[in-house]
Amino acid sequence: MRQGPKAAVITAVAAAMLAAGGYGAYSLVGSGGSDKKPGAAPARHVVDEAPSADLAAAGEKDFLAAWTSGDLTAASKLTDDPAAALTALTAFKTNVKPSADTLTPGAPTTPTAFASATAGPSGAASAKPSAAASPSASAAASPSASASAAPAFQVPMTFKSHVEFAGTTNVWDYTGYLGMVKMSDGKAAVHWVPSVVHPHLGPGETITTTQIFNPPTKVTDRNGQSLAQFKSLDQIVLKFQSSTTAGDPADAGTGVVITDDAGKNKPEPLFTVVDPKPGKPFKLTIDAKLEAAAEQAVNEQYAKGQNKTPAGMVAIEPSTGNVLAIANAPATGQNLAFLGQTAPGSTMKIITATALLEAGIDPNATMPCPDHITTGTTYHNDFTGDQLNNTFTQDFTISCNTAFIKQGLTTLKSGDLAKVAADVYGVGPAWKTGITSADGQIPGPGQSKDETAGEFMGQGKITMNPLAMASIAATVESGTFKQPILVPGMTQIQAARQLSPDTLTKLRALMKSVVTDPSGTGTPVFQGQGITGTLIGGKTGTAETAPGATPNSWFTGYRDNLAVSAEVLGGNFGAQAAAPAVVEVLKVGNAG
């Protein structure tokens, strides 16, 4: 295939946009089957005899002439599967929008060269079956009643395609391939497969045009500062530096591509129709100052661990949902910050508390905190002894597991946490942040009493990551869920509703007590750190992973227009590892 000197620019094709099918593309599929009426003449079909060279050449010439003239109906009738051919040729005209398409017969070719050329970009015949490899393949990847010729009786031919486009001097020249078969009426016809349109087009694929952008000159933070020096962002910077999926529409060009209708494979670039403008810096929502603090904080926790405890952190701007920092230690390990899927421990009590408040439990109501509680599994606290006169506020402040389980089982039911999480905090629906991320998961209704009990304290089947938990804290700080994004202007899903002002005020008071009350689990870490502001709050979490294993350390909190969450695997208590890391970033603050 000849791609021309412009084809390399296509490396910046917007893959995510293509996979979404946002261009109104027709799928190049069809069916060549037909019903035969009683008494009708036998249907025209392929015979087990190769056409002569002259007959094959004449058939190809007629087909290409009809296609060139724009008479797609006539062209399709010169194939062994007219319905599929008409669908495909019409889709090419509609999607690619050539101003002229001149097709000229070429020389015959060998079966080996034919099979190689139509096997797909990698040359692997198994990736995209060709006519020679799959004689019964139609554009719908299924046998057609009229397209049943064996490869041995197909005469492989080439042709030249000269495609012009309005408004540009770029011309797309490529070599096409088709197989000629002999029909029962003695004439030659094109054996129809998608690769007739383009050698790389296979069943279940679409050829179309889309916006393309030149790679950016550099990737920057929200203030224009380069992000190249941050190790945690290496792969993220590389993604946007080499194949950005977005840009200023005024800078876009147009490219011809092949897309996978199922969205499983990356689009294949074919040709640049209109050249995009030179690349510009590509801006992310990251704040370099906060990123530096976040990387230092997680690296310190990683180095402190006896067995090197991996850590991840995310900082979010509550008013916008903009992700201000993503940090992982080690930087070359798993992106724990965005891809982690572990139990969040008692940070989940933010959602449990939300559900209890909405169910009418007052923060000053008595909520006994027994030493242990058995629901099938026996649950304990991180401290010993009964505290049976505790209030709801005190239980949240000291993170009493048994109180939340006892009250939760009395007041709530299985599935309530999942509903509150989705309706208020946006946890459950898929997020599109700009890079791959794992969504928070909370089981719905129908869980056992024991499983539900564990969920109230952030154990069981619940999985979260620092991204999700930072977003939950951000929602409490701002009062409105703003789905986290890494690229400015991305579409953000909306939560179904907001918390009532009364519930929001009470929830903020609970989270403030964790970091300011003398008995608060986070107070010792926050004291003397100079973290002041209109809104301050947080929640520690200690998540058990396996019997005898050191728990994972969690903390999520906020300071005015900044929310931060961290997880340290094997870091033990929330106040021991994750909270100190979060404090280092909250101290920097969000200056905007």
Q: How does residue 38 score in pLDDT terms, banded at 50, 70 and 90?
A: low
| Nearest partner of 50 among 202, 156, 193, judged by Cα | 156
CA 54 vs CA 46, 68, 114, 185: distances in Å: 18, 21, 19, 16
Does the domain spanning 28-32+45-203 belong to CATH 3.10.450?
yes
Tell me 339's DSSP state: H
- Quick check: 191 and 50 in contact, CB under 8 A? no
pLDDT digits (tens, 9 = 90+) for 358-409: 999 999 999 999 999 999 999 999 899 999 999 999 999 999 999 999 999 9
pLDDT digits (tens, 9 = 90+) for 463-482: 999 999 999 999 999 999 99
| Nearest partner of 355 among 396, 403, 411, judged by Cα | 411
Q: How does residue 262 score in pLDDT terms, banded at 50, 70 and 90?
A: confident
Whole-number Å distance between alpha carbons of 372 and 378: 7
pLDDT digits (tens, 9 = 90+) for 114-161: 999 987 664 333 333 333 333 223 333 333 333 333 457 899 999 999
Question: Which stretches of 286-426 are assigned E, i.e. beta strand?
Answer: 311-316, 323-329, 372-374, 378-380
Burial category of 110 from C-beta neighbours within 10 Å (exposed 0-12, middle 13-18, buried 19 and up): exposed
- What spatial distance separates the first Cα and last Cα of the chain, rounded to whole Å? 50
Whole-number Å distance between alpha carbons of 107 and 195: 17
Helix axes 349-358, 501-516, angle to 10 degrees: 140
283 sits in which H/E element? strand 282-283
Domain ranges of the chain: 28-32+45-203, 288-586
Tell me 330's DSSP state: S
Q: How does residue 42 score in pLDDT terms, banded at 50, 70 and 90?
A: low
Q: How far is CA 420 from the centre of its chain?
A: 24
Whole-number Å distance between alpha carbons of 274 and 96: 12
- What pLDDT is recorded for position 8? 35
In total, the chain counts a number of residues equal to 592
Query: For residue 318, is pLDDT > 50?
Result: yes
Residues β-bridged to residue 255: 210, 272
Q: Which two tokens stand for residue 397?
A: 């402040």
Question: Which stretches of 416-504 are assigned E, i.e. beta strand?
Answer: none
- Quick check: 342 and 567 in contact, CB under 8 A? yes
Burial category of 298 from C-beta neighbours within 10 Å (exposed 0-12, middle 13-18, buried 19 and up): buried
Question: Which stretches of 285-418 are assigned E, i.e. beta strand?
Answer: 311-316, 323-329, 372-374, 378-380
Tell me 585's DSSP state: H
Three-state DSSP at 137 gives: coil
CATH fold for domain 288-586:
Beta-lactamase (3.40.710)
Q: How does residue 27 score in pLDDT terms, banded at 50, 70 and 90?
A: very low
Q: How does residue 43 score in pLDDT terms, banded at 50, 70 and 90?
A: confident
Whole-number Å distance between alpha carbons of 467 and 339: 9
| Nearest partner of 390 among 369, 361, 415, judged by Cα | 369
Number of CB atoms found within 10 A of residue 94's CB? 12
Whole-number Å distance between alpha carbons of 433 and 454: 29
Whole-number Å distance between alpha carbons of 58 and 251: 46
- Average pLDDT on 324-350 reads 96
Whole-number Å distance between alpha carbons of 55 and 380: 86
Q: How far is CA 314 from the centre of its chain?
A: 18
- What pLDDT is recorded for position 123? 38
Query: For residue 41, is pLDDT > 80?
Result: no
Phi, psi for residue 193 in degrees, rounded to 5:
-145, 160
525 sits in which H/E element? helix 523-526
- Average pLDDT on 493-522 reads 97
Whole-number Å distance between alpha carbons of 577 and 401: 20
Burial category of 249 from C-beta neighbours within 10 Å (exposed 0-12, middle 13-18, buried 19 and up): exposed
For the CA atoms of 573, 577, 582, 583, the dihedral, rounded to the nearest 10 degrees, stands at: 100
Q: Which two tokens stand for residue 295?
A: 């990387």
Give the rounded percent of residues in the chain with a pLDDT score beyond 90: 77
- What pLDDT is recorded for position 39? 55
- What pLDDT is recorded for position 583? 98
- What pLDDT is recorded for position 5? 35
Q: Which two tokens stand for residue 319?
A: 């008013």
Whole-number Å distance between alpha carbons of 28 and 88: 5
Whole-number Å distance between alpha carbons of 251 and 209: 16
Count of H helices and E strands in the chain? 17, 16
Whole-number Å distance between alpha carbons of 336 and 329: 9
- Quick check: 582 and 555 in contact, CB under 8 A? yes
- Quick check: 318 and 478 in contact, CB under 8 A? yes
pLDDT digits (tens, 9 = 90+) for 408-466: 999 999 999 999 999 999 999 999 999 999 999 999 999 999 999 999 999 999 999 99
Residues 6+ apart with CB under 8 A from 575: 521, 522, 524, 525, 540, 555
